[in-house]
Amino acid sequence: MKATGLGIAAFAAGTSQTNQAQAAFRPEKPVNIYGGEYDSLKVGLCQIHTEEWAIEDNLKRTLTAIEVAAAKGAEVAVTPECVFHGYGNNKSPGAGKRLW
């Protein structure tokens, strides 16, 4: 096939040549690489108020957030990092408490 100025203009204008070229690269139906029932996943993103070193209270709020996510159909719940100790550091009040 010889490329001409008209062919390129027709391709850019969205004619049948464009549709044929796009169809060559795009399957009619998306390919399901996983197969079966696991072709989607509902993820719950949990936003949780935390307090430094209030581990028991932070844990309760985290479990509540996970329960809410599950009730809304989430199959996986994602929580913030350091959610249990609330981003406490060695200069925070209560930093000397043991975690266990």
Residues 49-59: tens digit of each pLDDT: 999 888 999 99
d(CA 10, CA 1): 14
pLDDT of residue 58: 95
Q: Tell whether pTM > 0.95.
A: no
Of all residues in the chain, the percent with pLDDT exceeding 90 is 39
pLDDT of residue 53: 85
Question: Are the C-beta atoms of residues 15 and 21 closer than 8 Å to each other?
Answer: no
The residue among 41 and 12 whose pLDDT is bigger is 41
- Long-range contacts (CB closer than 8 Å, 24 or more residues apart) made by 14-20: none
